[in-house]
């Protein structure tokens, strides 16, 4: 018997010739040895397969006909075909034809052949198929719910996995095809066909079924993916006369598998994980994202499903597919043979570290040094919808692969210098490294990375790429090192400091001699550093909203990051000047030295009888802001004493407070007034720039004013906290 093309309609009653015998196919029965119908299962992988398969059938009905893969089956002397392969597709076609017949009121004579399709896996599945053909739904509710409510449907049928899967598929078919007209007519006109290979007298034993059908082991997502990729490339090869498919699939099966083998989820010693499917697909998604960015687009505008990505970038009908195939091969091959290194891990460790190391760039300790491994183990979550590999790591990995693909043009030494520039730019462009649809900068950023890695040029003519301040700094540092190459290691050490992360402008190229001093200073207690800076001047910066101010923090580095990295804040240069003045006072710093600076300042203020705002900040811990280093004062120019202390990053809250009041009598501080009042039985006290005002609780009238003496410059000449405490003691 030979292979022939058929539809689900015409295969019934077809006569197949086998030598001198004629065998007429009358029935299709899924035998008991077969596994259950699975295309209606609800797990995420099957849901994606179901969605794609129904999408293909939909396109066949409304656009272009489709021919499915081969169906193999044995036909006995009574004309009963038992499929060896194709059970899932045949069952879905059965359900689609049933839906079309019932939805379009097709006459019984035309669809009665559906009675000849049956399941023998369980009696319940067999009886369900028979009852289903006789039943006509109203289509006024979910098909599955209407079927389950029929008297002929025993409730225990819901436990049959084939029946429950069919019910899910019927609902999906209804959702996909409900608005489509003339489905039956299209089916009659061969909109959906498949190749059928009859196999006669093979002796269909259980062993043969298990060998040919891998019972209980359906094809994995990766196996389906690889088959579709090969199919698309072969179709393209037929057009171009090339042999890309043979090469690509050969690489997947050998070279790229060898690359990924030691990265499989359980590691090289894992006995229970001998596949690299997930690792391959995660890196494939990374490559597809890069293709998307290079096209000037964002992956956020597209599906993350690997089959959708395959169709988007590797379709035989797409003119860009040949270039995308080259990209796929280049991004895999570049890791397979790295000169002078045995494997990617060794190569990556040669120029990356978690702490300052000569010749290496800093990688945050929460991330793996092996960024390739990080990508293939965490690029996306199990659903594929959430990217677990962050954008800054994508850009860094891209930069590394650019070098690996151009080792003939870029020396290793040049690369290690250039990747430092890229890493500095990435670390200081948190807001810019974005692929949101309304502000997608990644295409421009990748262009900038190409220029840096391939030529060493920091191209500031590319619009909307990295942070402009950092771009300018990197250009200045590059020019500086041309003139002062002997300063390179000192510069790199300063860049690698945890407080700077590549941006050194708070110290400056003119002050590289202070690198060791800066390091010793920030080995000290952060609260003491905060106070020591304040003894020199009010070093904080005013944020763009003009009412919130940024200072340091005794507990969170993020506050110092905000201060030491150029932004839209007002006062960066003042912060720098104060820091440099502090660094100039000592060749090295310890907590003891800082305590001496602080003590001397407090003593001087009290001896001179002048109490500027920073005196209170330094003397009273309650003045130092919460973890985020935030203070608020909407009238700072005219009322420099009225900074409130915030406990959150952006908003005032019940935990905000006026520090003079909290220090003087915390027990009576009112949270209802956001810490701006001391409330007693009959009065409440508020703080003004040069006084305390006491109001009546009853009518809000002013009962008393406690003036703070100030000099002609508006600076307190008495400690206003001491004065308020004395007044409260007499209430």
Residue pLDDT, tens place only, 335-350: 999 999 999 999 999 9
431 within domain boundaries? yes
HSE, side-chain direction, 13 A CA sphere, residue 637: 1
pLDDT of residue 203: 45
Average pLDDT rounded to a whole number, residues 130-148: 94
**Cβ 316 vs Cβ 233: under 8 Å:** yes
Average pLDDT rounded to a whole number, residues 441-469: 96
Residue pLDDT, tens place only, 483-527: 999 999 999 999 999 999 999 999 999 999 999 999 999 999 999
pLDDT of residue 68: 83
pLDDT of residue 2: 55
Residue pLDDT, tens place only, 633-662: 999 999 999 999 999 999 999 999 999 999
233 within domain boundaries? no
pLDDT of residue 676: 96
166 in the same domain as 81: yes
Tell me the three-class secondary structure of 385-409, residue by residue.
CCECCCHHHHHHHHHHHHHHHCCCC
223 within domain boundaries? no
317 in the same domain as 245: yes
Phi, psi of 643 (to 5 degrees): -85, 130
- Token representation of residue 361: 């760039």
**Cβ 82 vs Cβ 204: under 8 Å:** yes
Residue pLDDT, tens place only, 26-52: 899 988 766 678 888 877 667 877 888
Within 10 Å of residue 182's Cβ, how many Cβ atoms?
A: 13
pLDDT band at 216 (very low <50, low <70, confident <90, very high): very low
In whole angstroms, what is the distance from residue 172 CA to residue 163 CA? 14
User: Three-state DSSP class for 71?
Assistant: strand
pLDDT of residue 418: 98
173 in the same domain as 119: yes
pLDDT of residue 270: 42
Helix axis angle for 277-294 and 371-378, nearest 10°, is 100
Among 426, 451, 301, which Cα is nearest to 363's?
Answer: 426
534 in the same domain as 393: no
Sort 639 into a burial class: Cβ within 10 Å, 0-12 / 13-18 / 19+: middle
402 in the same domain as 549: no
In whole angstroms, what is the distance from residue 10 CA to residue 26 CA? 11
Report strand pairing: 27-30 vs 117-119.
parallel
Q: Inform me whether the pLDDT recorded for 213 exceeds 90.
A: no
| CA-CA-CA-CA dihedral for 315, 320, 321, 322, to nearest 10 | 150
Of the three residues 632, 656, 680, the one that is the final residue of a domain is 656
Structural domain count of the chain: 5
225 within domain boundaries? no
- Token representation of residue 384: 């594929």
**Cβ 333 vs Cβ 401: under 8 Å:** no
Determine what percent of the chain is predicted with pLDDT higher than 90: 73
In whole angstroms, what is the distance from residue 646 CA to residue 526 CA? 18
**Cβ 437 vs Cβ 298: under 8 Å:** yes
Determine the longest span between alpha carbons in the chain, in angstroms.
121
37 in the same domain as 119: yes
**Which DSSP state fits 380?**
B
Among 391, 248, 225, 222, which Cα is nearest to 321's?
Answer: 248
229 within domain boundaries? no
Residue pLDDT, tens place only, 663-718: 999 999 999 999 999 999 999 999 999 999 999 999 999 999 999 999 999 999 99
145 in the same domain as 23: yes
**Which DSSP state fits 710?**
B
206 in the same domain as 330: no
Of the three residues 468, 503, 538, the one that is the final residue of a domain is 503
Query: What's the whole-number average pLDDT of the chain?
Result: 91
635 within domain boundaries? yes
**Range of the structural domain that residue 352 is part of:** 340-503
pLDDT of residue 204: 47
365 in the same domain as 245: no
Q: Inform me whether the pLDDT recorded for 384 exceeds 70.
A: no
In whole angstroms, what is the distance from residue 46 CA to residue 218 CA? 11
346 in the same domain as 375: yes
pLDDT of residue 349: 97
- Mean pLDDT is lowest, of 239-243, 261-265, 468-472, 505-509, for 261-265
Of the three residues 656, 688, 719, the one that is the final residue of a domain is 656
Sort 590 into a burial class: Cβ within 10 Å, 0-12 / 13-18 / 19+: middle
Average pLDDT rounded to a whole number, residues 305-319: 91
pLDDT of residue 197: 76
260 within domain boundaries? yes
331 within domain boundaries? yes
Average pLDDT rounded to a whole number, residues 451-455: 98
Global pTM exceeds 0.85: no
pLDDT of residue 84: 78
Q: Inform me whether the pLDDT recorded for 221 exceeds 80.
A: no
380 in the same domain as 312: no
More confident residue, 222 or 635: 635
Residue pLDDT, tens place only, 92-138: 999 999 999 999 999 999 999 999 999 987 788 899 999 999 999 99
36 in the same domain as 137: yes
């Amino acid at each position: 018997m030979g292979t022939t093309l058929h539809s689900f309609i015409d295969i019934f009653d077809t006569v197949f010739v086998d030598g001198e015998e004629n065998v007429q196919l009358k029935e299709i029965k899924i035998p008991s040895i077969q596994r259950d119908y699975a295309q209606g299962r609800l797990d995420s992988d099957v849901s994606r397969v179901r969605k794609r398969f129904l999408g293909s059938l939909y396109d066949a009905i409304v656009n272009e006909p489709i021919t499915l893969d081969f169906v193999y089956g044995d036909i006995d002397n009574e004309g009963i075909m038992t499929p060896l392969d194709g059970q899932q597709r045949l069952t879905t076609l059965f359900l689609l034809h049933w839906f079309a017949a019932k939805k379009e009121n097709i006459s019984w004579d035309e669809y009665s052949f559906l009675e000849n399709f049956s399941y023998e896996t369980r009696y319940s599945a067999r009886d369900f198929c028979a009852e289903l053909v006789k039943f006509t739904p109203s289509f006024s509710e979910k098909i599955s719910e209407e079927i389950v409510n029929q008297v002929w449907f025993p409730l225990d049928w819901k436990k049959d996995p084939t029946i429950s899967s069919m019910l899910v598929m019927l609902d999906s078919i209804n959702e996909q095809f409900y608005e489509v007209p003339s489905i039956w007519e299209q089916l009659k006109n061969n909109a959906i066909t498949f190749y059928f290979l009859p196999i006669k007298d093979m002796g269909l034993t259980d062993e043969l079924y298990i060998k040919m059908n891998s019972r209980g082991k359906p094809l994995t997502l990766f196996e389906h993916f690889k088959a579709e990729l090969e199919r698309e490339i072969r179709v393209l090869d037929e057009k171009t006369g090339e042999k890309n498919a043979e090469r690509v699939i050969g690489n997947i099966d050998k070279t790229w598998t060898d690359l990924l083998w030691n990265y499989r989820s359980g590691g090289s010693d894992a006995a229970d994980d001998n596949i690299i499917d997930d690792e391959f697909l995660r890196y494939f998604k990374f490559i597809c994202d890069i293709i998307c960015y290079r096209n000037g687009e964002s992956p956020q505008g597209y599906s993350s499903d690997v089959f959708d990505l395959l169709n988007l970038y590797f379709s035989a009908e797409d003119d860009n597919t040949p270039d995308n195939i080259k990209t796929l091969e280049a991004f895999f091959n570049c890791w397979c043979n790295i000169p002078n290194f045995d494997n990617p891990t060794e190569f990556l460790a040669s120029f990356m570290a978690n702490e300052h190391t000569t010749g290496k760039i800093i990688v945050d300790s929460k991330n793996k040094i092996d960024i390739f491994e990080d990508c293939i183990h965490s690029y996306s979550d199990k659903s594929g919808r959430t990217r677990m590999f962050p954008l800054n790591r994508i850009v860094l990995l891209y930069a590394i692969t650019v070098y690996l693909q151009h080792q003939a043009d870029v020396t290793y030494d040049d690369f290690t210098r250039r990747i430092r520039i890229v890493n500095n730019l990435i670390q200081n462009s948190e807001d810019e490294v974005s692929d949101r649809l309304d502000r997608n900068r990644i295409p421009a950023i990748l262009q900038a990375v190409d220029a840096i890695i391939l030529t060493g040029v920091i191209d500031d003519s590319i619009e909307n790429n990295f942070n402009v301040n950092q771009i300018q700094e990197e250009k200045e540092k590059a020019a500086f090192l041309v003139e002062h190459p002997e300063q390179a290691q000192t510069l790199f050490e300063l860049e690698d400091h945890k407080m700077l992360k590549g941006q050194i402008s708070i110290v400056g190229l003119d002050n590289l001699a202070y690198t060791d001093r800066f390091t010793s200073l920030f080995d000290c207690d952060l609260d003491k550093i905060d106070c020591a800076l304040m003894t020199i001047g009010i070093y904080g910066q005013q944020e763009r909203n003009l009412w919130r101010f940024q200072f340091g923090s005794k507990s969170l580095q993020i506050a110092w990051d905000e201060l030491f990295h150029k932004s839209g804040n007002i006062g960066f240069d003042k912060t720098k000047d104060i820091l440099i003045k502090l660094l100039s006072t000592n060749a090295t710093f310890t907590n003891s030295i800082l305590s001496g600076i602080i003590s001397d300042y407090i003593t001087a203020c009290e001896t001179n009888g002048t109490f500027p705002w920073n005196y209170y900040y330094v003397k009273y811990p309650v003045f130092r802001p919460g973890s985020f280093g935030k203070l608020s004062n909407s009238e700072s120019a005219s009322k420099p004493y009225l900074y409130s202390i915030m406990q959150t990053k952006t908003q005032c809250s019940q935990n905000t407070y006026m520090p003079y009041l909290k220090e003087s009598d915390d027990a009576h501080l009112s949270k209802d007034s956001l810490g701006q009042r001391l409330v007693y039985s009959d009065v409440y006290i508020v703080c003004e720039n040069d006084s305390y005002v006491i109001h009546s609780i009853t009518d809000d009238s002013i009962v008393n004013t406690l003036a703070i003496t100030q000099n002609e410059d508006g600076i307190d000449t008495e400690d206003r906290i001491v004065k308020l405490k004395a007044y409260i003691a007499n209430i």
